[in-house]
Amino acid sequence: SQKIEQNSEALNIQEGKTATLTCNYTNYSPAYLQWYRQDPGRGPVFLLLIRENEKEKRKERLKVTFDTTLKQSLFHITASQPADSATYLCALGDTGRRALTFGSGTRLQVQP
């Protein structure tokens, strides 16, 4: 069955450093992958989308990579700030079915 793994342990980093979050998947060939941010008690907020034929995508301080051979996506936040503290979710999708399959998320804590 399809499986998506995100580091269940919280990631604690110092302000100004680069945070790197990992999303691994098995038994799946997604056409695209999305990253969302979720704050406590709120709905997920879309951040970035990367297609299977794209290696890397950037948006301001965010960078996503997508390696379909390793079946892995890395999500980077450069120059991290305490306001970046949240849970980050990866979600996989394919063009044949619109439902997204989500990982359980990684909680990021940026210390001032």
Chain contacts with another protein (rule: CB under 8 A): 4, 31-32, 34, 36, 41-46, 49, 51, 89, 91, 93, 95, 97-105
> Distance (Å, rounded) from C-alpha 23 to C-alpha 11?
14
Q: Which of 52/67 has CB closer to another protein?
A: 52
The least CB distance from residue 13 to another protein, in Å, is 22
Per-residue tokens: 100: 């997204």
Minimum CB distance to another protein smaller for 100 or for 112: 100
CB 90 within 8 A of CB 102: yes
Is 13 within 8 Å of 111 (Cβ atoms)? Answer: yes
Question: Which of 63/103 has CB closer to another protein?
Answer: 103
Closest separation between CB of residue 112 and another protein, Å? 26
Cβ(27)–Cβ(71) below 8 Å: no
